[in-house]
Amino acid sequence: MSVVAILASGDMMPGAADRRVDAWEGDAQVAVVAAALARHGYATELRRWDDAEADWSAYAAAIVSVTWDYAARPDAFLAALERIAAATRLVNPLEVIRWNMRKTYLRDMEARGVTVVPTVWVDAATPAQAARAFADFATDRLVIKPQVGAGAWRQVRLGAGDPWPAAEALPPGPAMIQPYLASVAAEGEYSFLYFGGRFSHGVVKRAAPGDYRIQSSFGGTTQVYHPSAEELAVGVAALAAVSAPLFHARVDLVRLDDGRLALIELELIEPYLYVVGVAGLEDVLADAWAGLIETFTPSAMPV
Please, what are the domains in the chain? 3-100+291-295 (3.40.50), 120-180 (3.30.1490)
Q: What is the pLDDT of residues 90-148, one digit of tens each?
A: 989 999 999 999 999 999 999 999 999 999 999 999 999 999 999 999 999 999 999 98
Q: What percent of the chain has pLDDT over 70?
A: 92
Structure confidence at residue 202 (pLDDT): 92
Taking residues 241-269, report their average pLDDT.
Answer: 93
Q: How much of the chain, in percent, has pLDDT values that exceed 90? A: 63
Look at residue 293 in the predicted model and tell me its pLDDT. 63
The more confident residue out of 294 and 251 is: 251
Tell me: pLDDT of 251 over 70.
yes
Position 151 scores a pLDDT of: 75
Among 227, 230, 236, CA closest to 197? 236
pLDDT at 299 > cutoff 60: no
